[in-house]
């Protein structure tokens, strides 16, 4: 428990953190990775360079400081952090390393001695948050290990098929090297994939949504090739998969994780995605169709052009055996082939027919942050309640991105 005086110290630090939060965590990462170079294989070095992770952690620390007396408001953010940490196999003893480096960085950046009351207050506050995360993570590790086919840590998977889906997206079909059972994961969940990145000479992890519903036989991820700038920010894992990983190669995967999953078996579902945001939607759509869920299902997708459009044949095949599925495609440019497109230009939900957007439905949105912001606002404008809308952002900083997209008081925004 923090004392009243410690709470005052923490609150007094909030404005300073607001101004220097990113600088502080930037300093913190450099210090920690210098002292513990082995952690370079845990953190995504692309995020270090682009500042994504620095912002994410700075945001989490700030949010914690702001809500020190009411940690319940962090509930959703904590779940997302826990899922990400567990997916990365973060261990309880690593909290001491992060804590020590964070406190030293606060002390050094703000020019306060380590033995000051302010640092003692931050030590207590960090300890409180660490305890919450460690306990929640312990529970998730126990749960995922207990389910049939589940595992903790990294498990080897062989690439049994590498299948281009479009000019930018390629699917990797993965089978467990140990030949053991696979878990019945929930559609919409992601795995961390760890691979040696030749440019960096170290292993790097990155999260990918599973792009098909659980089938007990194999896992599938569908990966977008990144531009040079995106690759720098994302740590090259995607491009390593595209360029260096071939059929027969082995990747390390963590157990499927994440809370962006189907909310209800009894409601209509509307899937809205852009670009590679289609991947969790394909898994969800597959699950809805496999269970022949009776309520209406809409699949609304936006693509840049027909060459970057992926999995349209798979969607058409599902539609054939699942007639209640309604589809809608917005393509920014006029296709040259006979591809059926409902809108040429950006997706505008106000012009999508009301039959595709039922009032009583769960809405799932995945795509770039700007896209999610626009769709979220459109859905609110169409009378859909915020609790009906579920969103998933790619990449680290996803929590901040989702909260920003929703226009809610940013829980983790720096
Ligand atoms: C109280 C302590 C901690 C807090 C508040 C915290 C918070 C966060 C947040 C907000 C994110 C970003 C999630 C997202 O938006 O996707 C994150 C990601 C991450 N955290 Fe933590 N974390 C803590 C402790 C730790 C520890 C002890 C480790 C292990 C050394 C760790 C390793 C990571 C890694 C590897 C990521 C993903 C970053 C990336 O992809 O580059 N965290 N954490």
Confidence of residue 86 (pLDDT cuts 50, 70, 90): very high
Q: Mutate which of 25, 56, 68, 91 to test ligand 1's pocket (most atoms within 8 Å of Cβ)?
A: 56
Atom of ligand 1 nearest to the CA of 95: 27
CA atoms of 39 and 340, how far apart (whole Å)? 48
- 138 alpha carbon, distance to own chain's centre: 20
**Per-residue pLDDT at 384:** 96
Beta strand extents in 234-320 (DSSP E only): 250-253, 268-274, 297-303
Is residue 395's pLDDT more than 70? no
Q: In the chain, pLDDT over 70 holds for what percent of residues? A: 89
Selected catalytic residue, list 27, 29, 64, 137: 137
Is residue 157's pLDDT more than 60? yes
**Per-residue pLDDT at 234:** 66
**Per-residue pLDDT at 335:** 83
109 or 83: which leads in pLDDT: 83
Highest mean pLDDT among 37-41, 102-106, 250-254: 250-254
**pLDDT tens figures, 193-207:** 999 999 889 999 999
228 or 378: which leads in pLDDT: 378
Distance 331 CA to ligand 1 centre (A): 36
87 or 102: which leads in pLDDT: 87
Cα–Cα–Cα angle for 142, 366, 53, nearest 5°?
A: 65
What burial class does residue 322 get, using C-beta atoms within 10 Å of its C-beta: 0-12 exposed, 13-18 middle, 19+ buried? middle
**pLDDT tens figures, 297-337:** 999 999 999 888 989 999 999 999 998 999 999 999 888 87
**Per-residue pLDDT at 28:** 84
The DSSP symbol for 273 reads: E
Selected catalytic residue, list 95, 173, 185, 376: 95
CA atoms of 252 and 89, how far apart (whole Å)? 12
137 a catalytic residue: yes
**pLDDT tens figures, 159-197:** 999 999 999 999 999 999 999 999 999 999 999 999 999
Is residue 409's pLDDT more than 90? no
Place of tokens 């030949």: 179
177 or 111: which leads in pLDDT: 177
* Closest to 352 (Cα-Cα) out of 266, 270, 289: 270
Q: Give the N- to C-terminal CA distance of the chain in Å, as an integer.
A: 26
The DSSP symbol for 363 reads: E
CA atoms of 286 and 266, how far apart (whole Å)? 16
Region of poorest pLDDT, from 10-24, 116-130, 329-343, 356-370: 10-24
Atom of ligand 1 nearest to the CA of 46: 41
Q: Mutate which of 134, 369, 396 to test ligand 1's pocket (most atoms within 8 Å of Cβ)?
A: 396
Is residue 11's pLDDT more than 90? no
CA atoms of 400 and 414, how far apart (whole Å)? 8
Q: What is the mean pLDDT of residues 65-83?
A: 78
Is residue 49's pLDDT more than 80? no
Atom of ligand 1 nearest to the CA of 400: 15
**Per-residue pLDDT at 113:** 96
Q: What is the mean pLDDT of residues 402-409?
A: 47
The residues lining ligand 1, judged by C-beta closer than 6 Å to any ligand atom, are 39, 42-44, 47, 53, 56-57, 60, 81, 84-85, 88, 90, 94-95, 98, 126, 129-130, 133, 396-399, 412
Confidence of residue 405 (pLDDT cuts 50, 70, 90): low
CA-to-CA dists, residue 213 to 186, 221, 363, 410, angstroms:
7, 11, 18, 32
Distance 84 CA to ligand 1 centre (A): 7
226 or 284: which leads in pLDDT: 284
Confidence of residue 53 (pLDDT cuts 50, 70, 90): low
Atom of ligand 1 nearest to the CA of 133: 1
Q: What is the mean pLDDT of residues 121-141?
A: 93
83 or 55: which leads in pLDDT: 83
**Per-residue pLDDT at 254:** 98
Instruction: Show Cβ contacts of residue 382 under 8 Å, excluding neighbours closer than 6 positions.
Output: 349, 350, 357
Confidence of residue 48 (pLDDT cuts 50, 70, 90): low
Average pLDDT, the chain: 87
Extract the tokens encoding 324. Answer: 């209640």
**Residue 59 burial (CB count, 10 A):** 24
Q: What is the mean pLDDT of residues 142-149?
A: 96
Q: Mutate which of 26, 57, 103, 190 to test ligand 1's pocket (most atoms within 8 Å of Cβ)?
A: 57
| pTM recorded for the entire structure | 0.91
Instruction: Show Cβ contacts of residue 120 under 8 Å, excluding neighbours closer than 6 positions.
Output: 6
Is residue 2's pLDDT more than 90? no
74 or 386: which leads in pLDDT: 386
**Per-residue pLDDT at 231:** 67
Q: What is the mean pLDDT of residues 90-119?
A: 92
Distance 43 CA to ligand 1 centre (A): 8
In contact, 24 and 62? CB cutoff 8 Å: no
Judged by phi (left if over 0) then psi (alpha if -120 to 50, else beta), residue 156 lies in: beta
Is residue 20's pLDDT more than 80? no
Distance 272 CA to ligand 1 centre (A): 28
**pLDDT tens figures, 254-267:** 999 999 999 988 89
355 a catalytic residue: no
Distance 85 CA to ligand 1 centre (A): 6
Q: Which neighbouring-strand residues pair with 108?
A: none
Place of tokens 């408001």: 73
Is residue 396's pLDDT more than 80? no
Atom of ligand 1 nearest to the CA of 64: 5
Distance 56 CA to ligand 1 centre (A): 8
Is residue 403's pLDDT more than 60? no
Ligand 1, atom 8, residue with closest C-alpha: 57
Is residue 408's pLDDT more than 50? no
Q: In the chain, pLDDT over 90 holds for what percent of residues? A: 63
Round the CA-based radius of gyration of the chain to a whole number and report it. Answer: 22
Helix (H, G, I), strand (E, B) or coil at 88: coil
């Amino acid at each position: 428990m923090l004392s009243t005086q410690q709470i005052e110290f923490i609150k007094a630090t909030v404005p300073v953190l607001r101004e220097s939060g990113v600088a502080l965590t930037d300093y913190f990462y450099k210090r920690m990775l210098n002292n513990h170079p082995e952690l370079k294989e845990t953190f995504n070095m692309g995020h270090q360079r682009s500042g994504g992770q620095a912002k994410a952690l700075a945001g989490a620390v700030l949010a914690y400081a702001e809500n020190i007396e009411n940690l319940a408001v962090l509930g959703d953010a904590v779940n997302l952090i826990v899922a990400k940490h567990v997916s990365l196999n973060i261990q309880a003893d690593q909290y001491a390393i992060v804590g020590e480096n964070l406190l030293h960085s606060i002390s050094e950046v703000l020019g306060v001695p380590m033995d000051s009351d302010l640092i003692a207050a931050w030590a207590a506050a960090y300890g409180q948050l660490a305890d919450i995360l460690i306990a929640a993570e312990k529970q998730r590790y126990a749960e995922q290990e207990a389910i049939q086919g589940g595992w903790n840590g990294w498990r080897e998977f062989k690439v049994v098929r590498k299948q281009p889906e479009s000019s930018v997206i390629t699917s990797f079909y993965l089978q467990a090297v140990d030949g053991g059972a696979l878990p019945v994961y929930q559609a919409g969940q992601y795995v961390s994939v760890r691979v040696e990145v030749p440019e960096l000479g170290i292993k790097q992890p990155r999260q990918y949504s599973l792009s098909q519903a659980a089938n007990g036989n194999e896992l599938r991820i569908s990966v977008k090739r990144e531009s040079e700038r995106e690759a720098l920010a994302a740590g090259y894992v995607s491009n390593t998969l595209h360029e260096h990983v071939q059929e027969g190669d082995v990747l390390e995967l963590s157990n499927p994780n994440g809370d962006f999953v189907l909310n209800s078996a009894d409601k209509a579902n509307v899937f809205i995605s852009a670009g590679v945001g289609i991947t969790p939607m394909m898994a969800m759509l597959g699950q809805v169709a496999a269970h022949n869920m009776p309520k209406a299902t809409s699949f609304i997708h936006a693509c840049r052009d027909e060459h970057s459009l992926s999995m349209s044949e798979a969607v058409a095949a599902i539609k054939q055996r699942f007639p209640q599925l309604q589809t809608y495609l917005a393509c920014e440019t006029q296709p040259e082939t006979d591809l059926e497109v409902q809108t040429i230009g950006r997706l505008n939900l106000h012009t999508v027919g009301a039959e595709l957007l039922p009032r009583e439905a769960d809405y799932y949105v995945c795509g770039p942050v700007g896209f999610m912001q626009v769709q979220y606002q459109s859905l609110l404008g169409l009378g859909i309640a915020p609790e009906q809308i579920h969103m998933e952002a790619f990449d680290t900083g996803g929590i901040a991105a989702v909260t920003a997209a929703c226009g809610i008081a940013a829980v983790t925004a720096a």
